[in-house]
Structure 1
Amino acid sequence: MIQRAILVVAIFLAILLALTFGDALLAQAYAWISQLTGWIVHNFADLYAGLRYYLSTHTTKVVLAIALTIPVSWWVFRSREKELRNPANHRKIAIVLAICLGWLGAHRFYLGQIGWGIVYLLILWFFAPLVIVLSLIDAVRYFFMTDEQFTIART
């Protein structure tokens, strides 16, 4: 159940990022990531203020992203039900989550490793660049694992 919820959140964030950074993708993404990292390093209140500002200035994008997330998630779950249960796809989804949302520990939560996910959030609170590096290391590690090794590692 938590895997489906995380997959829905990942789809939503991917759609929202595509809508937000559609024009000048690299320049905007770089500015957003550096600004977001600066907020997180200083205080979560700054992150809340930034999210609140973003929601107030880009309300239509957020609503459109939510409206698109629901049918896309439904389609993915309906058409790919058997494939989503395949351990190889769990590994692929974990790699994508580690790259895109690894700084939040989303890949660890997706794999059911709640404790490690909380550790990632704590590291994020104290030193954000470290958690980004750790999540990229996890992505590379998952990429080079076989499906059998991945199944053993996630238990």
Structure 2
Amino acid sequence: MLQKILLPIIVFIIVLIGLTFGEGVFTALAVWLHDITGLVIYNFSDLYYTVSEYVARHPVKIVVALVVTAIVCIWIYKNKDEELTRQASSRKIAIFLAIFLGWLGAHRFYNGQIGMGLLYLIISFIWLPLTVFLSLIDAVRYIFMNDEEYRLRIQSS
């Protein structure tokens, strides 16, 4: 179920980035992340204003991205539905969490490592870039493990 919800969101973001690529999206994304990283913890309105400003500047791109997202998702649901309904490995979920919510320690909480998850939260309040870096290291570690190694490592923790 989670995969069916996340798939359109991920496809939409990829399509939107693809449509914006020619306008220096990576530079803009780096500046945006630099501006947000220290402020998101204290003030979520900055994130809202950044997104609303983007929507106001690029409404056509967003409509095109939504249409392409709908077409791609319908095609994927029709042709790959059995793969989507198959149970995902917990290692893949941990990789996803480490990449997108690792700065909050979500992957550590998911793995049952409550102490390390709390440590990630504390470090993120002190110096957020460190937890982003550490969570990406965890994601790379999980990527290069197979499911059996991952299961054994998590059980031993």
For the superposition of Structure 1 and Structure 2, which TM-score range results when normalised by the shorter chain?
0.5 to 0.7
Matches within 5 A, 1:64-143: 64-84=64-84, 85=86, 87=88, 95=95, 98-99=98-99, 101-102=100-101, 113=110, 123=121, 126=125, 127-143=127-143
Return closer, same or farther for 1:58/1:39 CA change in 2, 3 Å cut-off.
farther
| 8 Å Cα contact 2:103-2:124 kept in structure 1 | no
Higher mean displacement: 122-131 or 19-28: 122-131
- Output the CA distance in 2 between the equivalents of 1:98 and 1:129: 14
Larger radius of gyration: 2
> Normalising by structure 2, what TM-score?
0.66
- Output the CA distance in 2 between the equivalents of 1:20 and 1:33: 16
* Percent sequence identity over aligned pairs: 37
Matches within 5 A, 1:23-38: 23-38=23-38
Asked which structure has the greater RCO (Cα within 8 Å, sep 6+), the reply is 1
Tell me how far 1:26 sits from its aligned partner. 3.5
SS for the counterpart of 1:43 is coil
**What letter is aligned with 1:11?**
V
- Output the CA distance in 2 between the equivalents of 1:98 and 1:16: 23
**Are 1:12 and 2:17 matched, yes or no?**
no
Aligned residues: 145
- Output the CA distance in 1 between the equivalents of 2:150 and 2:79: 25
SS for the counterpart of 2:67 is helix
> Normalising by structure 1, what TM-score?
0.66
Q: Residue 57 of structure 1 corresponds to which residue in structure 2?
A: 57
Tell me how far 1:136 sits from its aligned partner. 0.7
- Output the CA distance in 1 between the equivalents of 2:38 and 2:57: 20
Return closer, same or farther for 1:80/1:92 CA change in 2, 3 Å cut-off.
farther
| 8 Å Cα contact 2:103-2:128 kept in structure 1 | no
- Output the CA distance in 1 between the equivalents of 2:35 and 2:91: 30
Question: Which ranges of structure 1 fall in alignment gaps of 5 or more residues?
Answer: none
- Output the CA distance in 1 between the equivalents of 2:22 and 2:97: 21
| 8 Å Cα contact 1:142-1:150 kept in structure 2 | yes
Tell me how far 1:149 sits from its aligned partner. 3.9
- Output the CA distance in 2 between the equivalents of 1:16 and 1:39: 24
SS for the counterpart of 2:22 is coil
| Aligned-residue CA RMSD (Å) | 3.8
Return closer, same or farther for 1:134/1:102 CA change in 2, 3 Å cut-off.
farther
